[in-house]
Amino acid sequence: MSLTILTRKEVIKDIKDRGGSVAAVLPIHYPRALLRTFDIYPIEVWGPPKVDVSLGGAHLQAYVCSIVHNALSFLKKGGLDVADLVLIPHTCDSLQGLASILMDLIQPKQTIIPLYLPRDKREEDVVFLTEELRSLATRFSDQTGKHPSNEDFLAAIKREERSDLLLAKLYQTRQKTGLGNLDFYRLLRSREYLPAEDFSKLAEETLKTTSEPRPGIPVIISGILPEPMEVLSMIDEMNGQVVADDLACCGRRLYKPGTSTDPFRRMAESILTAPPDPTRGNSIAERIEYLTEMAQNSGAKGIIFYEVKFCEPELFDLPNLRAGLKEKGLASIIIEVDISNPLPRQVATRIGAFLEMLTSHPKDTSCGA
C-alpha cells in the first residue's frame, strides 16, 4: 500500500488558516490533550535533522547532542517563527540547558515554557505531575483568555486516547500492514505533528489493509529516534525487518489511557504508563526485562541501539544494559550518529555484518562492541 501523509509544513499552514496556535514541542513526554483544549496544536521538534548547526554552536558546548544543537540553530534561523510558544519538557540536562539559554539569554519572540516531569510512577509522582499540568493550564488560560471546563478537557483527552489506542494497534499488526520499515515509521512518526483526529483516520485506513508478513531478519531498534530515516530503508535493503522498537519518539510513548475523572490527574496517569525510559529514571533491570519480553513477543533476534552522539541518558545505560541482555541471549550493536550529518557508509557495513551474524550465528551475542 502507498501512504499519503501530510508534511509538517502543510499541517502548520492548515492550523494557521483555521486560526489555531502552534506550539513547538521538544522531546519527549508532554500532555497533547491539554494543549489542544486551548486550541494550541503541538508540532514536535526532534532536531530537526540536517540543519546548519553553526548558529546554535555559539551557545552550546561541542559535546551537547545534535537534537539540542539543531533545535537551537533552527530556532535562531527562524525555523520556529511559525510557533506561538515553545514547550520544553525537562527530559535531560541538555534540554534543561536549552530552556535556560532561551529564557535567560536569547529571549526569542515565542514564549518558552518548561515542563517538569517526575522520575518515577509512584502516587507522589502522579500527584506532582497532576499539579504541574494544572499550573500549565492556568498559564495557558492567562495567555489565551480561555477557561475550558472539565468536559472540554475530557473531550480532548478521549480524542488523544483513541489515537494512542490506534497507535498501539498499528504496533500489534505491523507485519500485516505490508509497509516497509521506512513507510511504517513515517506513519508512526506523523503522530509527532498530525492533529489526533487526522492521525486516527490515517491509522484506521492502514489497519484495514491485510498483507502477508514481510520476510526479513527480525530486529528491534532502540534509541531516541531513527534519523536520518534512510537508516530504515537501509535495513530494508539488507533484508532486516524492524519488528518492534524502543524508540523515544515512538514505542516509548505507547501511553495507556488514564482512569481518573479529574482531567489533570488522568493526563498524568496516562503519561506515567509509558514503557521504561532512561530519561525518566527507569532502572536497567526494568529495561532488561522489558526488552527481553519485547524480543520474545516479536521474535526479534537482536537489538540495534541506534544512538544520538552525546546523548547521556542513553549512553550511560548501555554497558550494563547490553551485558544484561547478553546474559539473556540477546545480541546487540551500538550505532552512534549525529543527526545533522548524512548517514555514514560505515553504518550500512556494520548493520549488514550484524544482520549476517544473527542469521549465521544466532546464539553469538558478542557482536557489535
302 binds ligand SF4, rule: CB under 6 A = no
Stretch that binds ligand SF4, among 92-100, 137-145, 196-204, 230-238 (CB under 6 A): 92-100
67 binds ligand SF4, rule: CB under 6 A = yes
Alpha-carbon distance of 60 to 81, in angstroms, equals 21
Contact 307, 198 (CB under 8 A): no
Return the SS3 of 63: coil
Structure-block grid coordinates of residue 27: 522531546
The interface mask with ligand SF4, positions 185-214, x = CB under 6 A, is ------------------------------
C-alpha of 279 from chain center:
12
Task: Report the residue number, 218 or 226, with the smaller CB distance to ligand SF4.
Answer: 226
Stretch that binds ligand SF4, among 2-10, 210-218, 310-318, 348-356 (CB under 6 A): 310-318
Task: Report the residue number, 262 or 312, with the smaller CB distance to ligand SF4.
Answer: 312
Q: How far apart are the first and last CA of the chain?
A: 38
Residue from the set 130, 279, 298, 332 that interacts with ligand SF4 by CB under 6 A = 279
Number of residues engaging ligand SF4 in binding (CB under 6 A)? 15
CA angle 257-146-30, nearest 5°? 35
**Helix (H) or strand (E) run with residue 305 in it:** strand 302-308
Side chain identity at residue 20, one-letter code: G
Contact 305, 223 (CB under 8 A): yes
Q: How far is the CB of 278 from ligand SF4 (least distance, A)?
A: 8
Residue from the set 49, 118, 302, 313 that interacts with ligand SF4 by CB under 6 A = 313
Task: Report the residue number, 218 or 223, with the smaller CB distance to ligand SF4.
Answer: 223
Alpha-carbon distance of 169 to 164, in angstroms, equals 9
Which residues bind to ligand SF4, rule: CB under 6 A? 27, 65, 67-68, 91-92, 94-95, 224, 279, 308, 311-314
